[in-house]
Chains A and B, each alone.
Chain A
Amino acid sequence: MDDELLNDFIVEANEHMADIENQFLSIEESGEDVDVDLINEVFRGIHSIKGAAGFLGMTTINDLAHSLENILNMMRNLELTPNSAMIDVMLRAADRLQGLINDIQNSNDADVSEFIQALESISNDKAEAAPEPTPAVQEKPLTEDEELDRQIEEAIAAKLAETNAKKEATEKPPQQEAEPPVEPTPAPSPEAKKPTPTAKKSKDKKTAAPEASIRVSIGVLDKLMNLAGELVLSRNQLMQAIVTTDRTGLDVIASRLDQVTSEVQESIMQTRMQQIGSVFGKFPRIVRDLSSKLGKHCNLNIEGKEVEVDKTIIEAIGDPLTHLVRNSIDHGIEMPEGREKAGKPVEGTMNLRAFYQAGKVRIEIEDDGAGIDPKKLKEKAVSKGILTAEKAEQMNDREAVRLIFHPGFSMAAKVTDVSGRGVGMDVVRTNISKLGGTVDVESVVGQGTNIVITLPLTLAIIPSLIVQSREDRFAIPQVNIAELVRLRPAELEKRVGRIKDSEVLRLRGDLLPLIRLEEVLGMASKQGADEEQAETTAQPICKATNIIVVETGQHRFGVVVDALHDSEEIVVKPLGRHIQECPCLSGATILGDGHVALILDVAGIAAHEQVLGNEALDQENEKQTGNDEEETQHMLLFSNHAEEHFAVTMDVISRIDRVRADQIDSVGGQELLQYRNSTMSLLRLENCITAKMPEPGNRLYVIVFEVAGKEVGLIAPLLEDIRDITSTIDTATFRERGILGSMVLGEKTTRYVDLFELADIAHPEWRDADDVVAVEEDEQPPLILLAEDSGFFRKQVTGMMTERGYRVVDCEDGLIAWETLQSGEHDFDLVVTDIEMPNMDGFELADRIKQSSKWNHLPVIALTSLAGAADVERGIEVGIDDYQIKMDRDKLLNSLQNFAGTKSGNNRPVLEKV
C-alpha cells in the first residue's frame, strides 16, 4: 500500500481524534440539553475516518467508526439522549479506534466486536421499546436513564424543532466537504469552524513524516515572509553602501538590520510556540475516569489553555502534569462521605491553571481536598530515616510539606495502583528542573493543596550568566544560580574551609561544597605547571574570589570562577557528536563577539565532581556549627537615614507596626503612639545614639519590644530585610551605649542596636532601683557560671550580669564549664549555658550537672537564640530549669534573680561540703 497515503490518513485521523475525548465529555455534560453543533463536529470527524478507512481497505477501523457514527447520528437527530453510560462506551470505543489508527498495519486483524456490540446495544436499546442492556461492556443499567431520556425528549421535542432545522442545514457539509454553505444563516458556527481544519489538512498532506511537523499560523508565516523581504532589502542597502563607499548611511542600515534580525528571531521562536491546551486537553478524561474508579466526585476547571510555550516543553510537561493531577485526585480529594463530614461540597474541585508571570509560565494544580498534613509527613520522614527527629521538629510546616519531593517518599498512607509508589514526586521535580523549571507545593490541612510549576517560555533561549575561568568564557543558566558571593582576600581564609579533601564555603551558618571551575574542567592541567603555581599563589592576594552558588534538584554548591561577565540571553546550540557526551556541558552558544561559549550543566558538574550530598554536609554542619565563632542570628535590618543601616535581633521584638506619621503624638517632649486604647512610648535612634536624622515620611514602622513590663516602640523609617545573619560582630569600631557592635552586610556597615540599652538611655527612670541584686552586707553577690562559645555573646551576657552586680565566671565551652565546676575552685550559685557549643553542648552540660549528686541542686538556665520547641522539650528532659533568649535582657535578668537571688543562700551550705 502507498505509505504516503497511509501516513496522510494517520495524520488526518489523529487530528480528528485529538479532541474527541473532550468533545464526548462535553456532550456528556450537556446531557439532554443536546449541543447539536458539537455532535455534528464529532460526527463529521468520525465520518471522515470511516470514509478514508473504507477507501484504504481498513475494514476494522471502518466498522468501528461506523458504529460510533451511528450513535452520534442518533444523538444529533435527537433520537438518543447522551448519558454517562453511553459516553463511557463511546470513550472506550474511541480509545480503541485511536489504538487501531496508531497500529494501522495490524488493525485489520484486531478484534473490535466487543466494542461494536456495546455500541450497537445502545442504538438497539433505543430502537426497541423495552430496553435491555446487553452485558458486553456496559457497567450501568441504562433503563432508568433511558426512560428519563424519553420523557425529556418528548418534552423538549417541540422546542427543538427549530434546532432540527439547523441540524439539517449542517448535515450536508460532511458529505460534500469542499462545498461552501449555501444557506445563509441558521447555523453559521459549524461552517465557520469547518474550513479551517480542512485547509490545514490539505497543507499537512504535503509535509513528510507525521511526527516531525508542526503547525504554524499563517499570520506568523506571513510575518516571516515580510521580514525576509526586509532582510533582503537591508542587505541590498548594505552592499550598495559598501560599493559606493558611502559611510554615512551605514548607521541607519545597521540599526535597521538589528531590528529586523530581532524580529525574525522572535517570529521564528513563535513558530515553535504551542498552546498548552494540547496538554491540558487530556485531563478532563483522566479526572473523570480516575475519580469514578476511586468512587470520588471531582470537577475539573481548566484555565489558560491558550497560554503558549515552546514545543519541547509541551512535549515534556505532559507526564509530570499527569502525575500531579492523578495525585491530586488520589490523595487530595476525599471520598464523598469524608467531604460531607468535613462540611465541604460532595463534589471536589480541581483547578488547572496556566498563565504568564514575569516572563515565565506558571501552572497551578489546585484541589480543595484534604491537604497535606505536615505532621504526618514529618513522622513518615523520620520513620523512613530521611530526617532526624530533631530536624523534623525544627522544620516549619511549609518545609515539611515540601518533603513530598524527597526521593523515595510516598505521600499515600497506603499504596494504590494509581499513585503512591514512592517514585513520583521526586521524578516530577527532576523532570521539571530538567526543563529549567521549578515546582513547589502549598497546602492547608483540610482545605486543599496547590502545586505550582514555573516553566520558562522556551528552552531555545535561556537567560544565563557569562563567567570566565582562565581564558575561556562559559554560560551558566540563571535558573541554576541561587546567588553570587564575593569574598575579599581577607575573608577567604575565614569563610573557606576543608572537609575530607573538598573545599567548603561558610555561608550564613551553612556549609556549601565549593568547586573550582578550572579544576572541574581540567583546565589547570592543560596549562604549564609553573604558570599555574604562579597564578594560584598570586591570585588570592590581589583579587576577590567570585563564587556562584548554584542549585540543582539535589545539590547546592559554590563554583569558584575567575571573573563574572554580563548576564545574557543566549541561544542554545547543540554540540557535535564527539563532544555531546562531555560531562559538565549542556551545549554551546555564540556570544556577541562571535566567540563560542560553552554552557555548563550544573547537575552534570555535581555528578562529575561527586559533590558532597546534603546528608554528608548536614552532618558536617552539625559538627561545625559549634566551632563556628559566628552564631546565626535572626535579624531585622532597617535604616534610619538612607546612608545608615541598623540591625536588631528578632528574638526580642514582639511585633512590628506600620503607622502614619500623624498618629504619633508629642507630649512633653516625649513621643507617644496611641495603640489599642493605650499609649506606647516611642524612641528615636537619633535621640539615643549618634545617628543622622531620617527624611520625614508619611509612613513609618515601629519596632515594638518590651522593657520592664512596658511596650516600647523604636521608630524605623524603612525596613530592609529579615535575615539569618552569621557575621562576625565587630565590637570595637562603633563603641557607644545602645550599640552592641557592627557588621558588614552586603558591603554596607550595619550597626547592631541593643534595644534595651536604647530604652535605658531614653528612660533611665524605668530601671528599677532594686534591679541590682540585693545582697546582704556580709554576703558575696551570687556567682554565675556562664558557658557560651560565641565571644560576642559571652561578652554581652557577662557585661549585663556584672552590671547588675552578679559575679561571673565565663567559659567558652560546656566542657570547660564542667571542668571548672568540678575543680571546686568556685562556689557557683547558678549555671547559665548556651545550647550550641562545640565540645559539650548545653544539654549535656545540664544533664551532667543534674545527674551528679554534687551539683544537681544547681539551677541551670539555658540561653538560645530562638527558643525552639524541640529544644525546650529536650531541655526539660535533662532538667534545665529555665529558658531565656540571649538578647532579651529583661527576662534573663528576672530569671537570674528568681533562681540566684532566692536560692543563693540555700546553695551555699551544700557547696561548702565539697
Chain B
Amino acid sequence: MNATLEAKRDTAAAELQLATFYVGDILLGIDIQQVQEINRQLDVTEVPHSPDFVRGVINLRGDVATVVDLRTILGLPSAEVTRESRNLIVHSKGETIGFLVDRISDILALNTNEISPSPTTVEGVDGNLFKGIFKLETELLIILDVDAVLSGETK
C-alpha cells in the first residue's frame, strides 16, 4: 500500500488512483489521496438532531469522527450494517469523516482523460456530487467529490 502511494506521487497528474466501493449497487470511487483508512469501526453513537445523512460519531483512536451514511446522500434507503460494511475514513477540510459503505472494492488507477464529465443527474442523484464517470468493462464507476458530498447542501 505504501509502495503504491509512493509510486502515485511520482506519476504524472494524468493518473488518478481511486479507492472504490459499493453503495447499494452503485460503484463509487474516491481519490485515494483523500482516504486515510478503511476500518470496521461500526459502533456508531447516534447524534440527536443531526442532519439526516449523519449516521453518528465513532471513536477514531481518541478522536471523535462523524460518520456519514452515503446511502442517504445518494437517496437510497438507510444502510443496514452487514459483515461487509466498512467505514471509509476520508480527509475533508481538515477533518476526518467516515463514509459508511456497503462493500469495499479495489484500488484502481485511471487516466484522467478517460474520465467523462458527470451528467446533471446520475441515477436520480445530483451530478454536482460527482467529479466524473469512468466506464469499466462491466459497469460504471462514479467518482465522488468528497467535499461536495459533505457540503450537506443536497439531499
Interface residues of A (CB under 8 A from B): 472, 520-523, 526, 573-579, 582-585, 588-590, 594-598
Interface residues of B (CB under 8 A from A): 43, 45-51, 54, 57-59, 62-66, 68, 93, 95, 97, 150, 152
Q: A574-B64, A588-B64, A596-B64 are in contact. Are A579 and B47 (CB under 8 A)?
A: yes
* A576 partner, pick from B43, B59, B62, B95, beta carbons under 8 A: B95
Closest 3 pairs (CB-CB, A-B): A576-B66, A521-B48, A596-B45
A520 to B59, CA, bound (A): 24
A578 to B72, CA, bound (A): 15
With a cutoff of 8 Å between Cβ atoms, the chain A residues found around residue B45 in the complex are 472, 588, 595-598
* A582 partner, pick from B50, B59, B68, beta carbons under 8 A: B50
Pair B49/A583 contact, Cβ less than 8 Å: yes
Pair A576/B48 contact, Cβ less than 8 Å: no
With a cutoff of 8 Å between Cβ atoms, the chain B residues found around residue A520 in the complex are 48
* A588 partner, pick from B43, B51, B57, B97, beta carbons under 8 A: B57
With a cutoff of 8 Å between Cβ atoms, the chain B residues found around residue A598 in the complex are 45, 47-48, 57
* A472 partner, pick from B46, B49, B59, beta carbons under 8 A: B46
With a cutoff of 8 Å between Cβ atoms, the chain B residues found around residue A579 in the complex are 47, 50-51, 54, 57, 66
* A578 partner, pick from B43, B48, B51, beta carbons under 8 A: B51
CB distance from A524 to the nearest CB of B (A): 11
* B57 partner, pick from A576, A577, A594, beta carbons under 8 A: A576
Q: A588-B57, A596-B57, A596-B59 are in contact. Are A575 and B66 (CB under 8 A)?
A: yes
CB distance from B140 to the nearest CB of A (A): 28
Give the total number of A-B pairs whose CB atoms are below 8 A apart.
72
A640 to B79, CA, bound (A): 65
Q: A576-B66, A578-B66, A578-B68 are in contact. Are A522 and B57 (CB under 8 A)?
A: no
A589 to B95, CA, bound (A): 17
Pair A522/B59 contact, Cβ less than 8 Å: no
- Smallest Cβ-Cβ distance to B49: which chain A residue: A582
Q: A576-B95, A578-B68 are in contact. Are A595 and B59 (CB under 8 A)?
A: yes
Q: A472-B46, A578-B150 are in contact. Are A590 and B59 (CB under 8 A)?
A: yes
Pair A575/B57 contact, Cβ less than 8 Å: yes
With a cutoff of 8 Å between Cβ atoms, the chain A residues found around residue B68 in the complex are 578
Pair A584/B59 contact, Cβ less than 8 Å: no
Pair B64/A584 contact, Cβ less than 8 Å: no
CB distance from B54 to the nearest CB of A (A): 5
With a cutoff of 8 Å between Cβ atoms, the chain B residues found around residue A576 in the complex are 57, 64-66, 95, 97
CB distance from B91 to the nearest CB of A (A): 12
CB distance from A528 to the nearest CB of B (A): 15
Pair A596/B54 contact, Cβ less than 8 Å: no
A768 to B113, CA, bound (A): 114
A588 to B63, CA, bound (A): 9
A575 to B68, CA, bound (A): 13
A594 to B57, CA, bound (A): 12
A230 to B62, CA, bound (A): 20
Pair A596/B58 contact, Cβ less than 8 Å: yes
- Smallest Cβ-Cβ distance to B96: which chain A residue: A576
With a cutoff of 8 Å between Cβ atoms, the chain A residues found around residue B48 in the complex are 520-523, 582, 584-585, 598
Of A521, A578, A590, most buried by chain B (CB within 10 Å of CB) is A578
Of A521, A574, A577, A585, most buried by chain B (CB within 10 Å of CB) is A577
CB distance from B68 to the nearest CB of A (A): 7
A598 to B65, CA, bound (A): 12
CB distance from B120 to the nearest CB of A (A): 25
- For the complex with contacts A526-B46, A590-B62, 4 further pairs of A-B residues with Cβ separation under 8 Å are A520-B48, A575-B57, A588-B64, A596-B59
A526 to B56, CA, bound (A): 14
With a cutoff of 8 Å between Cβ atoms, the chain A residues found around residue B65 in the complex are 576
With a cutoff of 8 Å between Cβ atoms, the chain B residues found around residue A526 in the complex are 46
- Smallest Cβ-Cβ distance to A575: which chain B residue: B64
What would be 7 A-B contacts, judged by CB atoms less than 8 Å apart? A522-B48, A578-B54, A578-B66, A579-B51, A579-B54, A585-B49, A596-B64
With a cutoff of 8 Å between Cβ atoms, the chain B residues found around residue A521 in the complex are 48-49
- Smallest Cβ-Cβ distance to A526: which chain B residue: B46
Pair B62/A595 contact, Cβ less than 8 Å: no
- Smallest Cβ-Cβ distance to A576: which chain B residue: B66
- Smallest Cβ-Cβ distance to A594: which chain B residue: B59
* B49 partner, pick from A522, A574, A577, beta carbons under 8 A: A522
